[in-house]
Chain A
């Protein structure tokens, strides 16, 4: 009974998460371009880190573990090393691209079949 109530509640939160993910995807895409053109744009990288941090905090709990992992790698890179050191990491742009690709995959899946992305994810309920 409680598990059912939780499932219903989580579907609502997943819907909110996916709504937010649209905006976050657009913003990261924009910042990625900005940062790609000017590697000294630490403010852009900081904001990418902040968005990744938020995604990393909820994605896995809501049933999107791959997205959570991609976001966590960027969050760790930017937070632990600082923007300047992260800028010089040769993996950085590839990691941002990979995060964007995972976001896009989930959003496309959701657009094609809204109920699928909302209900099929396995939440971290134990």
Chain B
């Protein structure tokens, strides 16, 4: 696994070299600034498989560097592990918003770094195997028919506020749970019949629809603090990171209205009717790490259970009223 570590402290870099070497992560490049890192990435003929980034660095910090790396087409899904002394919630939120995949606070346990890198290595290998099976990616055109594999894939629509990778969302919650998950809630959103709707459609049409729905979710949740992740097919999980009660029924109406306004359609002009179903929110407070992961799954199950249980019409209201039940 080809790794790039960026930290302005040479002692940390030297320490990482030793720590990674004993775990057989020997293909490691190090540098002391974000600028140097971007130069190395640009000059690299074989792309890096993983980045280890410090946050507090002069000039461009690690969060800005994360955003810059995510803008590079070859690194849209490359794991980015923040290794930083910044343990405050605001830094964790900003790092994951910018596209971080995981977060370790300094001073770190050496065994913890090894464990996280093993997980990343496994993920990288799985992705390589996927790419090896399809050495020539199928063209993303209106003619490419979506397969079951396409529906199962967890997508990360780009440039939508609050939308992050599903695994990153789990890692975010695990990190936050060490500080406090007070007031945090999770809920699921499912779009019934998504696979059926796109059975004879293209990958492009399916991915565009996922992106549009993610955008509608993001727009209707603002200005609240949240993260949303696509969980495969027509399923999304949302984490509200602020406090306050959540009214699922009213939010479902708000989201449905937002999707309707988008006037979605297939490439041939046929209208695409999407009716998202929102599940009741579950508290993330006082959950263990396993409990947090289970809660995300349970949030999706809640939404699925609402599919055959139609909700009564609710009056239209503003986003804030929807989220805080005013």
Contact = CB atoms under 8 A, between A and B. Distances in A.
Interface of A: 2, 5-6, 9-10, 12-13, 16-17, 20, 53-54, 56-62, 68, 72, 75, 79-80, 123-126
Interface residues of B, number: 24
B306 to A, nearest CB: 42
Interface stretch (B106-114, B136-144, B204-212): B106-114
A61 B108 contact: yes
Q: By CB atoms of chain B within 10 A, which of A5, A13, A125, A126 has the most?
A: A13
Contacts of A57: 9, 12, 84-85, 106-107
Nearest to B105: A57
Interface string B85-112: 1101000000000000000001111111
Interface of B: 9-12, 14-15, 17-19, 21-23, 56, 84-86, 88, 106-112
Contact of B21 (A9, A68, A125): A9
Given A53-B56, A56-B85, A13 B107 contact: no
Contacts, number: 74
Nearest to B107: A60
Contacts of B15: 10, 13, 58, 61-62
B167 to A, nearest CB: 24
B198 to A, nearest CB: 47
Contacts of A61: 15, 106-110
Given A53-B85, A57-B107, A2 B9 contact: no
Contacts of A59: 107
A12 B110 contact: no
16 contacts: A5-B22, A6-B18, A6-B19, A12-B14, A16-B11, A17-B11, A54-B12, A56-B107, A57-B84, A58-B106, A60-B107, A61-B106, A75-B85, A126-B110, A126-B111, A126-B112
